[in-house]
Structure 1
Amino acid sequence: MAPRRVSPQMLLALTQDLRSATRNSGFWNSAPSLPNSLWLDPTESVTQVAIMGNTGSHQGDLLANQTSTTKSTPLSFESCQLAPLVLFLLVVAYALVVLVGLLGNLSLIIIITRKQKETQNVTNALIANLSLSDILMCVVCIPFTMVYTLMDHWIFGDAMCKVTAYAQSVSVTVSIFSLVLIAIERHQLIVNPRGWKPNMSQACCGLLLAWIFSLLMSVPFFLFSQLTDEPFRNISLPGDPFRHRAACVEEWPSRQGRLVFTTSLLGVQYCVPWGFISVCYLKILLCLRKRHGKVERVREQESRRVNSMLISIVVTFGACWLPLNIFNIIFDWNHEILLHCHHDLVFILCHLAAMTSTCINPLFYGFLNKNFQKDLMDLLHLCRCFAPRDHYDSIAISTLPTEESKVSVKFIPSQESI
């Protein structure tokens, strides 16, 4: 989730494509800037430079035709800017995601910390790690990416360019791996209750490996992210509004290396985890359905709620992260497809969809759990916000009795967990 999918990065990519094509065709020798014919007139926009620069294998005469064609249908600079109402709605949406994500995950961590003092629980440790990574996403991914994308240039300096790109990738990867570990633990608890189940030390080792792998896998973002003024170097507008602006982009030694890394990232951060989570929860769903005929009628509604929850977890994970992954892979493999005024808006919507996972995870793994609701009320009572309540018992949504014996099957942790 490095902040790279914005106009400056796209314009830089097109500038590099143009230079490669024109050097091969002898259009210029070693000039560090674009030809004068590609400088913007006051009625032209940054996007037009990208459009005019996208020559691919065209020769110099085709470049002139492309420039002429583009100027014949000019776009005003303002036509590519987001409307104030759209900007306001996007900022409000991001603010809500940050607020809900922080409050939900912080409350989850506080409750788990209080419960862990009483008894250590594997599921709670995994959920706490998920909440921690989601908080990191709310703090690092959303603010920097939102400001960078809406402003179209980087204002936080060279060091933060590297650090934020690295931290964003780490937080996203750890969050996704935490979901995988939770799926494994629940699969063993429900599908194979008499088999191997991770203990606390094994869970901690799994979390440690997830963090180490995420830290190592994200190193390329730190190495190759840097500031450059190249996307703005050849833009000439009245008043020079682009003077002294810089973009935080990835400067890879080779395009092939970047494509290999991006494609691998798609598999590691999305395809493999989603497939693994889908298989685990599908097996859990089938296991619970086999017991459905043995469940007492009074528990049928509870069983349906479990099934709906399982399906929702898989579907929301895929729906949240699919748009952003598709955008990223298209950008790296064929960025010309994204050449239109409002590609930044498309990116923002894709990024916003992914970030909503920070709000959904606490909902699935905490707020819908009756034990969590009870513990949350306990926290509120500590503040004297509500009158004391009578003690009541609650059951986890996956505690299902059978005809042979009553077996506690924990989908969302019950009793000792949360």
Structure 2
Amino acid sequence: MAAVVATLPPANFTSNQSSCNVHNHHFSAKVTFSLFYTVLLVFGACGNILALCITFQRRKKKLNSTDLYLVNLALSDALFTLALPGRIAYYVLEFNWPFGDWFCRVTAFVFYMNTYVSIYFMTCVSVDRYIAVVRIRHPGRTRRVSCARAVCALVWFLVFLQTAPLLLRPMTRRMGDKLTCMEYFNFEEIPKLPYLLLVACVLGFFLPVGIILVCYVQINLKLCQTAKENPLTVRNGHHHRAFTVILVVLLALLLCFSPYHINIVQFMVRKILYQPSCREQQAFKMSLQVTVAFMNLNCCIDPIIYFFAFRGYKRRLLRIFRNSGSMATSSTAKTPSESNSNSQPPGSSSV
């Protein structure tokens, strides 16, 4: 329930909705969001599909628990990009949804399911790295592949339960001659909604961030302790890699997801304390569009996590770029000789 409430789209919060029109879009917003989600589609799809291809090409080496969490993260991001063409069309048509209410529901479901699947799998990666480094003598069963598979299935199942209600309610709303999608929701139908949203933000974002921070601090302390006891052990890079992975995960969460959840918390506190003015509602609506865009940016940042976390991913990625660069160079080198040979008249010979 917590994640469901956190995913509800913004709404007119006053009972007299006609007195305050928060649906105020400008041409600059149309152009900005259209270009943003187009770039997101290209880089997000390419980055995550490439990560999946590189991972499954490693036939000789089995996936460990960390790899399994990252594969699910890449799969979630790749599926998320399937919803982007509809959003791009929505912004190009000046915030007019042409695909009907059911497709809008599916788009909202995919959008917000990816959000919380990403957060939870980032948390799983951090906890897994913590166990591998800090609890290295007593890892228990938590790092077994079978256990990791069960955790992955549980994450998908829980997030599905939390976001599935988005498929059961209308997500479109007629605003004049336009049909908006994921823009408004009648909050007046749900009592105590501000309190539910606050609980949702705590369980869906702030609690995972707290867990990741604890893992980050513990690994840092372990790294310092190991460096004092045996400096040669630190040189193998195992602890440093775990430290870097969690740092990148933490930065990704703070950059992509914190603006959205902090924005929700701030406005819900105002809603509890007093009735926000029309200007405050309009500012919240505009800021929510921007923070949702930042939140969706995670599908392009997640490949950076793969770069540091996947064993062999960096080497294979650099090899792909090196091979493509050498092919381009060789084809360019052949061009002058081919042109010279083609420029000679028939029957002529070189001296």
Cα 1:94–1:200 change in 2 (3 A) is same
Which of 174, 183, 188 in structure 1 is aligned with 2:126?
183
Cα 1:297–1:166 change in 2 (3 A) is closer
Which of 207, 213, 219 in structure 2 is aligned with 1:272?
207
- Offset of 1:286 from its aligned partner? 1.1
Cα 1:94–1:367 change in 2 (3 A) is farther
Q: In the aligned structure 1, how far is the partner of 2:284 from the partner of 2:303?
A: 31
- Paired position in structure 2 for 1:4: 9
**Residues 145-294 of structure 1 correspond to what in structure 2 (within 5 A)?**
148=90, 151-195=94-138, 196=140, 197-229=142-174, 232=175, 242-243=176-177, 245-246=179-180, 248=182, 249-251=184-186, 254-256=189-191, 258-293=193-228, 294=230
Q: If the length of structure 1 is used for normalisation, what is the TM-score?
A: 0.64
- Offset of 1:375 from its aligned partner? 1.8
- Counterpart of 2:137 in 1: which secondary structure? coil
Cα 1:125–1:301 change in 2 (3 A) is closer
- Paired position in structure 2 for 1:18: 16
- Offset of 1:266 from its aligned partner? 1.0
- Offset of 1:194 from its aligned partner? 1.8
- Offset of 1:331 from its aligned partner? 4.8
Code of the residue aligned with 2:211 in structure 1: it is: F
Q: In the aligned structure 2, how far is the partner of 1:343 from the partner of 1:152?
A: 18
The reply to whether residue 314 of structure 1 matches residue 319 of structure 2 is no
- Offset of 1:109 from its aligned partner? 0.8
- Paired position in structure 2 for 1:327: 263
What is the number of residues matched between the two proteins?
Answer: 312
Give CA deviations for 1:171-206 in whole Å, capped at 9, x if unaligned. Answer: 211111111111121111111112114211111100
Cα 1:357–1:181 change in 2 (3 A) is same
Cα 1:263–1:225 change in 2 (3 A) is farther
Q: Does structure 1 conserve the Cα–Cα contact (< 8 Å) formed by 2:7 and 2:163?
A: no
The reply to whether residue 82 of structure 1 matches residue 16 of structure 2 is no
- Offset of 1:258 from its aligned partner? 3.5
Q: In the aligned structure 2, how far is the partner of 1:149 from the partner of 1:332?
A: 27
Q: Does structure 1 conserve the Cα–Cα contact (< 8 Å) formed by 2:90 and 2:97?
A: yes
Percent identity, please. Answer: 19
Identify the structure with the greater helix proportion: 2
Code of the residue aligned with 2:9 in structure 1: it is: R
Code of the residue aligned with 1:216 in structure 2: it is: L
Q: If the length of structure 2 is used for normalisation, what is the TM-score?
A: 0.74
Code of the residue aligned with 1:82 in structure 2: it is: H
Structure scoring higher RCO (CA < 8 A, sep ≥ 6) equals 2
- Paired position in structure 1 for 2:21: 50
Q: Does structure 2 conserve the Cα–Cα contact (< 8 Å) formed by 1:101 and 1:138?
A: yes
Cα 1:298–1:144 change in 2 (3 A) is same
Q: Does structure 2 conserve the Cα–Cα contact (< 8 Å) formed by 1:122 and 1:200?
A: yes
Q: Does structure 2 conserve the Cα–Cα contact (< 8 Å) formed by 1:133 and 1:172?
A: no
Code of the residue aligned with 1:313 in structure 2: it is: V
- Offset of 1:270 from its aligned partner? 0.4
- Counterpart of 1:115 in 2: which secondary structure? coil
Cα 1:201–1:158 change in 2 (3 A) is same
Q: Does structure 2 conserve the Cα–Cα contact (< 8 Å) formed by 1:149 and 1:348?
A: no
The reply to whether residue 362 of structure 1 matches residue 303 of structure 2 is yes
Code of the residue aligned with 2:276 in structure 1: it is: E
Which of 64, 68, 86 in structure 2 is aligned with 1:125?
68
Cα 1:332–1:154 change in 2 (3 A) is farther
The reply to whether residue 336 of structure 1 matches residue 276 of structure 2 is yes
Q: Does structure 1 conserve the Cα–Cα contact (< 8 Å) formed by 2:30 and 2:91?
A: no
Which of 292, 316, 323 in structure 2 is aligned with 1:375?
316
- Offset of 1:144 from its aligned partner? 4.6
- Counterpart of 2:155 in 1: which secondary structure? helix
Question: Please, which runs of 5 or more residues in structure 1 have no aligned partner?
Answer: 20-33, 39-48, 52-76, 233-241, 388-418
Q: In the aligned structure 2, how far is the partner of 1:296 from the partner of 1:91?
A: 52
- Offset of 1:324 from its aligned partner? 0.8
Q: In the aligned structure 2, how far is the partner of 1:262 from the partner of 1:145?
A: 25
Cα 1:221–1:374 change in 2 (3 A) is same
- Counterpart of 2:260 in 1: which secondary structure? helix
- Offset of 1:352 from its aligned partner? 2.2
The reply to whether residue 108 of structure 1 matches residue 62 of structure 2 is no
- Offset of 1:349 from its aligned partner? 2.2
- Counterpart of 2:172 in 1: which secondary structure? strand
- Offset of 1:108 from its aligned partner? 1.0
Q: In the aligned structure 2, how far is the partner of 1:146 from the partner of 1:261?
A: 31
- Paired position in structure 1 for 2:346: none
